[in-house]
Copies of this chain bind each other. A is one copy, B any other.
Amino acid sequence: MKATPHQLLCFQAVAETGSFSAAARRLGLSQPALSRTVRLLEEALGARLFDRNTRNVALTPVGAELRPIAERLGAEFGGAYGELARFVAGGRGRVTVAALPSIAAVLLPAAIAALAADRPDVEVLIADALSGPVLDAVRDGRAEIGLTVQPPPSAQLDYRPLLSDAFGLVCRDDDPLAARDGPAWSVFAQRPFVAMAPASSVRLMTDAVFLQAGLAVTPLFQCAFLGTAGRLVAAGLGITALPRLTLPLAAPPGLAWRPLARPATRRQMGIVTRANRSLSPAAAVLLDLIVAEARRAASLSEADGP
């Protein structure tokens, strides 16, 4: 009751060449093997497929009926296999990345550009969110890759650190603070502080540092976007603390960045994936590209060690 694809291939070869010997040569089989295979197929289907004697081979009506079917099936099978192979090779697919905006902006553009360059059929979706939703998205499979700060250890998530980024003071470049080498976090106790939104990763870290250092800092503003914070600082309304690599996002010219000391603080960025779950091939490729991009960013950033 079963016809294997191999049997259909053998049938097709005989039908096309009109000869068992020629078909066997083409298939790289011995003629007896081919004869047997065709006979088995005929028995499986319950009908003769070729009227043959030692001199002539001709399709029977059943064989003629099978021919287009086998062809269609073969094309279907080959096509499906090709599709899948491309997916497996990472040449096709969809990758969803959940990322903190500040990290996405640093690491993703180059990686995605490199991916698009030689794998144009891979679709990349970016969901930027705060760190909690990023972890949630990865945990329940809505995103394959998460880019975020180091999360609390979890059995459901794997974390792989990529690079760390020093926090620094951000102020106008005509501010006297801009001239200082290695200002301390305590400066924020004396000047209006532009804070990020409460659940943002930058805010969580600055709050932690203030707490740890026993500093009483009252945020003057709370921004959801780095660009807003940058503009507030540029307008002279306050100063803030940001990781260095996020600086281009806070973009207005006329701003200075000085690494903060006491305590020297670094934000670690990394990749989060679902534990014990395979990545799609395309996602694996993108992940490698992100890792490479992170290495490049780390080596370019003189102040940054792992």
Chain A residues near B (Cβ < 8 Å): 2-6, 45-48, 51, 53, 58, 60-62, 65-66, 69, 72-73, 76-77, 80-81, 83-85, 87-88, 93, 144, 276-281, 283
Contacts and interface: CB of A to CB of B under 8 A. Distances in A.
A87 B62 contact: yes
Given A5-B2, A69-B84, A278 B51 contact: yes
Given A60-B280, A69-B80, A72-B76, 20 more contacts: A2-B5, A4-B4, A4-B5, A5-B5, A47-B281, A51-B277, A51-B278, A53-B276, A58-B277, A60-B278, A61-B279, A62-B84, A62-B281, A65-B84, A65-B87, A66-B84, A73-B76, A73-B77, A73-B80, A76-B76
B60 A83 contact: no
Contacts of A76: 72-73, 76
A61 B4 contact: no
Given A69-B80, A72-B80, A61 B93 contact: yes
A88 B279 contact: no
Given A61-B144, A76-B76, A279-B61, A84 B45 contact: yes
Contacts of A80: 69, 72-73
B69 A83 contact: yes
A56 to B, nearest CB: 8
B61 A276 contact: no
A277 B60 contact: yes
Contacts of A280: 60-62, 65
A293 B144 CA distance: 71
Nearest to A52: B276
Contacts of A4: 4-5
Given A5-B2, A276-B53, A88 B48 contact: no
A88 B62 contact: yes
Contacts of A83: 69
13 contacts: A2-B6, A3-B81, A5-B5, A45-B84, A45-B85, A60-B277, A61-B280, A61-B283, A65-B280, A69-B84, A73-B77, A73-B80, A76-B76
A179 to B, nearest CB: 53
Contacts of A69: 80, 83-84
A283 B61 CA distance: 10
A66 B83 CA distance: 9
A41 to B, nearest CB: 11
A277 B69 CA distance: 21
Given A3-B81, A80-B72, A48 B278 contact: yes
A254 B127 CA distance: 95
Q: Which of A47, A62, A69, A278: most chain B CB closer than 10 A?
A: A278
